[in-house]
Amino acid sequence: MNETNKNTIGFDKPLLSIKSRLITISTILVLLLVPIFFPPREDVLSVLSMALLYGSLACAWNLHALSGLISLGHAAFFGIGAYTAVLSTYYFRINPWFSLLIGGFASAVYGAIWFLTFFRLRHGAYTLATFAAAEVIKVIVDNWDSVTFGSAGIGNIPPLFNTGLQSRWQSGFYLIFAVLAVFSLIIHWSALNTNWGLALKTTRESEKVASSVGVPVNFVRLTALLISSFMTGICGVLYSHQIGYIEPNMVFGLHISAMPIVFAYLGGRFFSLGPLLGGLILYFFDQFAMLPLFPSAHQAVYGLTIVIVLWLSPEGILSCFQKREKSV
Amino acid sequence: MFSETREKCLELFDIKAMRNGRAILEGINLSVYNQEIVSIIGPNGAGKSTLLDVITGFLKASSGKILFKDKNITYLPPHKICHLGIARTFQIATPFASLTAIENVMAAMIFGKNLQKTKWLKSYKKTGKKQFDKAMHLLEIVGLPHKATTRANELTLSEQRRLEVARALATDPELLLLDEFAAGLSPQAIENALKLLNDLRSRGLTLLIIDHFLNVTVKASDRLVAMDKGKIIASGSMKEVLEHPTVISAYLGV
């Protein structure tokens, strides 16, 4: 074992060397930019954009999950982001770009409330509480007709910027999702590889032991939740601008909470690229293979695929590429 | 006694603590001097581990005061107490299971210091040679250098216990609290443990050891403190405490 690089000895050997890391990074960037210079069919572009959005959502969800708590209520952040941004633009004529940030911050505020109220909850109780917290907001938005327009939803949401074109599915908007994905990747990478990431790791392994060696577990948990909720809020805002229509069931629905969990687990929660790749692969597979082949039963096949993939590689698709340690 | 002239490291004043509405500690007064090895003995349920939890901030005392180097630490959170220089091990060895042995130590080295100096956004996998050598040195102290790259959950129980000590030492403590340090150790391992304790003391550490069985404590410590039912029932030299009638009756249950 002595021949290993002194710099990284003791720690898990990285999946890739520095050189191949650079290649990976540039490959990702080039791949993300291809659709801008060579626009594909509109449906491909739309699926690609949404896949990047859901992949980023999965990154954001996993950021919080890396602190050791599983949330089943991220739809709350998604919906709060979407509704806050859209309503603030509607009522106060705020610039959509600015309301993008407002949406993110509103979600982060709700994240802070979670932190304060669910302070003592762990494991199943925490997950249940997050699920309930999303339902509470959903019901409020659903019934507060005078402000939120209730279950009728809000339509005709303008795109984030005006391109003068009719279609919403074009490379200009795709670029936004590509940028979002890059940001999510960077944050997700740092949640796995920096000292902050190490603090998250120790916190999720054992809160008690982590604090006994000086990790400020509450600070670490709070930062993870705040960044996670902020990013989820941003995803929600971008979603509302892209689809052009929101209603409570769409943005606060359980599927919004569940999807990032599926993507993150499927891609590999402990890999920087895992959640994004999980989102891209599964969403594409769903839209272009399942939907045409099994129009009526595609969700059942979808579920079956998830079961089979997790059965074959419980730690996600990417773990298949990891070199297995030989146990001596 | 000679220790009276030395500076006090840790002082507890009338500590009371509750767990689940039940009083576990009922007025603990205790002083530990610098570079002293003090052992707390007592039967199961005497409140020994709870006392450690109270000192390290995991359980808040319902009344009383704890001074560490003349600083009041009664209501500080665990990580701040760690930064001040109190490290502990746990009754049940709990290493960070998915980290390797040396990563466990390095994690403690990274966070066991002043957090204002922590570079949160620096990649933790790139450690300097100095840090690496220090971590290896700590593993050598506890006799685990050959297991440095083994995952902590693949270590044996006694190795995990020693790793806990190395991890606690990595935070650069002045006071080390060892919970059930010698439980489950073989006679040979106990010999090594004794050597380790004296070695640590000569490095300037103060040690507070909990021991249910009297195997290590008796030989290594300067002073014994016997606890029963949340109270200190006897304190003093080994002979004094072990021959104390209350201690005998507490252990024998008569």
- Secondary-structure breakdown of chain B: helix, strand, coil percentages, each rounded to the nearest 5: 40, 25, 35
pLDDT of amino acid B43: 80
Stated length of chain A: 328
Distance CA(A185)–CA(B147), nearest Å, equals 34
**Interface contact B154, partner A, CB < 8 A:** yes
Blockwise average pLDDT, block size 10, chain B, 254 residues = 67 87 86 87 83 89 87 88 88 84 86 72 73 83 80 83 87 87 73 82 87 72 84 81 80 68
Q: Do the Cβ atoms of B167 and A213 come within 8 Å?
A: yes
Q: Do the Cβ atoms of A214 and B82 come within 8 Å?
A: yes
Chain B nearest CA to A70, separation (Å): 19
Name the residue among B58, B98, B148 with its Cβ closest to that of A205: B98
Q: Do the Cβ atoms of A205 and B107 come within 8 Å?
A: no
Cβ neighbours of A49 (radius 10 Å): 25
Chain B nearest CA to A215, separation (Å): 6
Instruction: Give the residues of chain A that fall short of pLDDT 70.
Output: 1-17, 162-171, 322-328
Q: Do the Cβ atoms of A194 and B135 come within 8 Å?
A: no
Q: Do the Cβ atoms of A199 and B94 come within 8 Å?
A: no
Chain B nearest CA to A66, separation (Å): 14
Q: Do the Cβ atoms of B115 and A199 come within 8 Å?
A: no
Distance CA(A244)–CA(A237), nearest Å, equals 10
Q: Which residues pair with B228 in a beta bridge?
A: B231
pLDDT of amino acid B42: 81
Q: Do the Cβ atoms of B122 and A14 come within 8 Å?
A: no
Nearest CA to A303 among A249, A268, A259? A259
Q: What are the start-end ranges of the H helices in A68-213?
A: 74-92, 96-117, 123-143, 145-148, 171-193, 195-205, 207-212
- Mutate which of A6, A16, A209 to test chain B, going by most B C-beta atoms within 10 A? A209
Q: Which two tokens stand for residue B230?
A: 């949340």
Decide if A95 contacts A161 (C-beta within 8 A).
no
Helices A195-205/A217-243 angle, 10° precision? 110
Which of chain B's residues have a Cβ under 8 Å away from the Cβ of A190? 121
Name the residue among B111, B121, B171 with its Cβ closest to that of A190: B121
Distance CA(A163)–CA(A168), nearest Å, equals 9
Distance CA(A178)–CA(B81), nearest Å, equals 45
CA B229 from centroid of its chain's CA atoms: 21
pLDDT of amino acid B91: 83
Q: Which residue of B has its CA nearest to A190?
A: B121
Q: Do the Cβ atoms of A209 and B96 come within 8 Å?
A: yes
pLDDT of amino acid A16: 57
Distance CA(B247)–CA(B227), nearest Å, equals 8
Give B75's Cβ-side CA count (13 Å radius): 3
Distance CA(A253)–CA(A17), nearest Å, equals 41
Distance CA(B35)–CA(A197), nearest Å, equals 36
Q: What is the pTM of this model?
A: 0.86
Q: Burial-class residue B190 by CB neighbours within 10 Å (0-12, 13-18, 19+).
A: middle
Q: Which two tokens stand for residue A69?
A: 């708590």
pLDDT of amino acid A112: 93
- Mutate which of B98, B104, B111, B138 to test chain A, going by most A C-beta atoms within 10 A? B111
Q: Which residue of A has its CA nearest to B166?
A: A213
Give B185's Cβ-side CA count (13 Å radius): 23
pLDDT of amino acid A8: 47
**Interface contact B163, partner A, CB < 8 A:** no
Nearest CA to A238 among A187, A284, A183? A183
Distance CA(B101)–CA(B124), nearest Å, equals 15
Q: Do the Cβ atoms of B103 and A11 come within 8 Å?
A: yes
